[in-house]
Structure 1
Amino acid sequence: MNIGIEIKKLRTEKGITLKELSEKSELSIGFLSQLERGLTTIAVDSLEKLADILEVHLTHFFDYPHKRKDKVLRSYEHEILDLVEAGFIKYSLSPNLENKHLVPRLIEILPQKKDEEILSYKHEGEEFIYVLEGILTVYINGERHEVYPGDSVHMESNIEHNWANYTNKKVKLLAVNTPNYIYNRKYYSADAE
């Protein structure tokens, strides 16, 4: 996919002028014009700004793994879906998330400090978590639960929740969410989870 062409397509579909996009993104009109014509490249942080303005997830601009035609995704093909500064590594478990309701992910959570503040949040949809390795601390409506390998959590996502890893080892879990936040940003903020 040519990122510049896709930005122009999304911008025109939404009726946003180059000037408006420039003002919202703090990127020059000249730069954006060159980008849309494929004459320059863009840094990921700037592309993320444009994705937010155009109401798509950053991964919209990359073909793999979200738009493959395969039905089977091999373990060695797992691509990182997201890296979060708080020590979360999220892998997509689907070869194609377009037009899908579920978002299956493998998540690795690195150890966190016990005094680190965990902010709970809520969003539309439903959430399922299955712990594969380690001990996950889950907060649901202010209650703290320790979730061990083989344990699972299944809940509506519109209640306050979050999770943490207070151990000294990595926690690995399977998470399945609805709605599909990759292709439907109106329901799910990119910062959530």
Structure 2
Amino acid sequence: MEELNIGKKIQDFRNASNTSVRELSKKSGITASMLSQIERGLVNPSINTLRSIANTLDVPLFYFFKEDAEKEELVVRKNNRKTIGFPNQSDVRYDLLVPNTLGTIEFCMMEIPNSSKSVEEAESHKGEEVAYVIEGRVDIIVAGLRYTLDEGDSIRIPPMTDHKWENIDTKLAKVIFAVTPPSF
């Protein structure tokens, strides 16, 4: 089994939060020398020590045990996107712009052919959504109100708010959107 290198992960999270060893020591109740030894891999911390560090850095405890990011699939090539959604229900196409839907955010591109709509009846989902029109002109009906968005416009759709997209223009519309948590 490959070594987890928990000390390095602690150091990376500490640095990412712009926290010094002394600050982490003071807030977590763990001596600075002990933290230094943990980060250098000289000492293996107990679960209670890890829990205290995780709470102080506001990082879920399991992050210290996750595989390194470079082992995860991170890049999606433009010719290798996954199509998601409901291809048989409408002409609208949804391409996933992240490797999968296992993360805490979903990032997609929606292509709406002219005279098409995302769904017949407005629907909602639990995630908050933000969308940006990269090409064309599209209408979106949010909570019964119609908004026309042109190329370069964006919109925030609150969680659990009924909405649907309509392309009433003569050309294809492309919209990039992010949803957290993922809804597909």
TM-score (norm 2): 0.55
Q: Which residue of 1 aligns with 2:156?
A: 154
Q: Secondary structure at the match of 1:76?
A: helix
Q: Does 1:75 align with 2:72?
A: no
Kept in 1: contact 2:116–2:166 (CA 8 A)? no
Question: How far, CA to CA, are the matches of 2:129 and 2:183 in structure 1?
Answer: 12
Q: Distance in 1 between matches of 2:124 and 2:146?
A: 16
* Structure 1 gap ranges (5+): 1-67, 183-193
Structure 2 distance, partners of 1:132, 1:113, is 17
Q: Is the contact made by 1:69 and 1:95 (CA closer than 8 Å) also made in structure 2?
A: no
Offset of residue 97 of structure 1: 2.4
- Paired position in structure 2 for 1:127: 129
Name the amino acid aligned to 1:92.
L
Amino acid at match of 2:112: I
Aligned mate of 2:169, from 167, 170, 176: 167
Task: Report the residue type matching 1:97 in the other structure.
Answer: T
TM-fit CA distance, 1:104: 0.6
Could you report, residue by residue, the CA deviation over 1:93-116 in whole angstroms, capped at 9, with x for unpaired residues? 011322x111111110112269xx
Q: Is the 1:69–1:96 Cα contact (8 Å) retained in structure 2?
A: no
Percent identity of paired positions between Structure 1 and Structure 2 = 25
Q: 1:168/1:93 Cα in 2 relative to 1: closer, same or farther (>3 Å)? A: same
CA distance in 1, matches of 2:108, 2:146: 23
- Call closer, same or farther: CA 1:159–1:113 in 2, change over 3 Å: closer
1:96 aligns with 2:96: no
Aligned with 2:113 (options 110, 114, 124): 110
Question: What is the CA deviation profile of residues 41-85 of structure 1, one whole-angstrom value per residue up to 9, with x for unaligned ones?
Answer: xxxxxxxxxxxxxxxxxxxxxxxxxxx932121222222223243
1:143 is aligned to 145
Whether contact under 8 Å (2:127, 2:183) holds in the other structure is no
**What secondary structure does 2:165 align onto?**
strand
* Kept in 1: contact 2:142–2:157 (CA 8 A): no
Instruction: Provide the TM-score with structure 1 as the length reference.
Output: 0.53
Over 3 Å counting, the alpha-carbon distance change for 1:84 and 1:172 in structure 2 is: farther
Larger Rg: 2
Distance 1:69 1:96, change over 3 A: farther
In the alignment, what sits opposite 1:85? Answer: 89
In structure 2, relative to structure 1, the CA distance for the partners of 1:154 and 1:110 (3 Å cut) is same
Q: How far apart, in 1, do the equivalents of 2:78 and 2:142 lie? A: 31
Cα RMSD over matched residues? Answer: 2.2
SS in 1 for 2:79: helix
C-alpha displacement of 1:118: 4.1
Gaps of 5+ in 2: 1-70
> Is the CA contact (8 Å cut-off) linking 1:126 and 1:155 kept in structure 2?
yes
